[in-house]
C-alpha cells in the first residue's frame, strides 16, 4: 500500500467530526493481525546501533521510498513538497521489538507543512513526533495503542525547543521498552510514558514497529478544518518548495530475533513470538 492509501484514509476521516486525530494521515497497515489471519511475519532488525547515513546517497535497500522521490544531497535525504499531493516518505523494511530510534533531522518550514518520524506496528500501535513548519518554538509527540484515537488532546503533548527545528539539525531519539516510552531532544528527555499510564497498559505501544520518516501537507485545503488548523493553517504551495532533511539514523532493536510474529489476536507484547 502507498501513501495514497493513507491520504484516502484521511479524506474519509474528514467526514467524521473533529474528534478524529489529524496524525492518522501517516497511519496505515497492510495487514492487521488482530483482524486478519495469515499476515506475513515482520522482518527483525535484531541488532544494536545500526547506522544509516543519508548524506549524498540512499541508505541502501533497507529503506523503501513508499511515496514520492528523494534527493540525496550534502545535507542528507531531501524530502520536498513542491505541489499538491507531494508527501515523500521512507519506511524501514525491518521492525524493532522495543528499542531505540535516533534521527538527525532538520524539519521543513512552512505553514501547513508537517515533518514526521513515526514508529508504526501492524496492529496500529504508534509512536510519533510531529513538527509543524510554521511553529519554530514547539514540537509535538504522541502515541496510539491499537489505533485508538479517543482522548487525542490528552495524548498529544507539545514541548518547547531550543532553537527553531527548521533552522538546524537536531537529535530526535525515542527509547522504548515494555515499561516506559521516552522521547529525547538533543540528549534531554522531554517526555516519559509509563506502561500503566496508557489505559492500564492496554493502549501502551507494545508490538513490533517499523520506522517511517516523511513530510506531508496537512494544511492542504482538502483536509478537514481540524487538521488544517493543527498544521498552523493552509499551505501556500507557491511559497515552496518546502524541504525537510534527514542526515542519519541510528536504530537499536532490543530483541534479537530474525522475525516477529503475532501469536494471537490480543496485541500484547507477551503474545509476540520471536523467531530465531
Ligand X SMILES: *[C@@H]1O[C@H](CO)[C@@H](O)[C@H](O)[C@H]1NC(C)=O
Strands 259-262 and 114-121: unpaired
CB of 136 to ligand X, least distance (A): 7
CB 173 within 8 A of CB 97: no
Span of 38-46, 73-81, 132-140, 253-261 interacting with ligand X by CB under 6 A: 132-140
Span of 51-59, 75-83, 147-155, 211-219 interacting with ligand X by CB under 6 A: 147-155
CB 134 within 8 A of CB 147: no
Residue 130 among the catalytic residues? yes
**Residue of 128, 110, 111 lying closest to 119 (CA atoms):** 128
* Nearest-angstrom CA–CA distance, 256 and 208: 12
Residue 259 among the catalytic residues? no
Cell readout for 213 is: 520518516
CB atoms within 10 A of CB 35: 10
For residues 71-100, which are near ligand X according to CB under 6 A? Answer: 91, 93
**Residue of 124, 106, 7 lying closest to 66 (CA atoms):** 7
Taking the least distance from each CB to ligand X, the nearer of 244 and 272 is 272
CB of 82 to ligand X, least distance (A): 23
Strands 50-53 and 242-253: antiparallel
Contacts of 16 (CB under 8 A, 6+ apart): none
For residues 164-203, which are near ligand X according to CB under 6 A? Answer: 171, 173, 178-179, 184, 187, 195, 199, 202-203
Taking the least distance from each CB to ligand X, the nearer of 75 and 178 is 178
Residues 230-269, mask of contacts with ligand X (x by CB under 6 A)? --x-------------------------------------
Handedness of CA 147, 166, 213, 15 (dihedral sign): positive
Span of 69-77, 113-121, 130-138, 238-246 interacting with ligand X by CB under 6 A: 130-138
| Interface size with ligand X, residues (CB under 6 A) | 30
Contact residues: ligand X, CB under 6 A: 32, 34-35, 48-49, 64, 66, 91, 93, 102, 134-135, 137-138, 148, 150-151, 158, 171, 173, 178-179, 184, 187, 195, 199, 202-203, 225, 232
Catalytic residues: 126, 130
Amino acid at each position: 500500500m502507498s501513501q495514497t492509501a493513507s491520504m484516502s484514509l484521511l479524506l474519509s476521516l474528514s467526514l467524521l467530526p473533529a474528534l478524529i486525530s489529524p496524525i492518522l494521515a501517516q497511519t496505515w497497515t497492510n495487514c492487521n493481525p488482530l483482524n486478519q489471519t495469515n499476515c506475513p511475519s515482520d522482518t527483525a532488525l535484531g541488532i544494536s546501533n545500526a547506522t544509516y547515513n543519508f548524506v549524498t546517497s540512499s541508505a541502501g535497500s533497507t529503506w523503501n521510498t513508499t511515496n514520492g522521490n528523494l534527493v540525496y544531497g550534502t545535507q542528507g535525504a531531501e524530502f520536498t513538497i513542491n505541489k499538491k499531493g507531494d508527501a515523500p516518505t521512507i519506511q524501514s523494511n525491518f521492525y524493532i521489538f522495543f528499542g531505540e530510534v535516533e534521527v538527525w533531522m532538520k524539519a521543513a518550514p512552512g505553514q501547513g507543512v508537517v515533518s514526521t518520524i513515526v514508529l508504526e506496528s501492524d496492529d496500529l500501535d504508534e509512536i510519533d513526533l510531529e513538527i509543524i513548519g510554521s511553529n519554530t518554538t514547539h514540537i509535538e509527540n504522541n502515541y496510539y495503542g491499537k489505533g485508538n484515537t479517543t482522548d487525542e488532546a490528552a495524548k498529544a503533548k507539545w514541548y518547547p525547543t531550543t532553537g527553531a527545528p527548521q533552522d538546524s539539525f537536531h537529535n530526535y531519539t525515542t527509547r522504548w521498552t515494555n515499561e516506559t516510552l521516552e522521547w529525547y531532544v538533543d540528549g534531554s528527555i522531554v517526555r516519559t510514558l509509563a506502561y500503566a499510564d496508557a489505559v492500564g497498559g492496554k493502549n501502551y505501544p507494545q508490538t513490533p514497529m517499523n520506522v517511517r520518516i516523511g513530510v506531508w501537507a496537512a494544511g492542504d485545503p482538502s483536509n478537514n478544518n481540524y487538521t488544517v488548523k493543527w498544521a498552523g493553517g493552509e499551505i501556500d504551495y507557491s511559497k515552496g518548495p518546502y524541504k525537510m532533511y534527514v542526515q542519519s539514523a541510528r536504530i537499536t532493536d532490543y530483541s534479537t530475533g530474525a522475525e516477529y510474529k503475532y501469536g494471537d489476536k490480543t496485541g500484547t507484547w507477551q503474545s509476540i513470538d520471536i523467531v530465531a
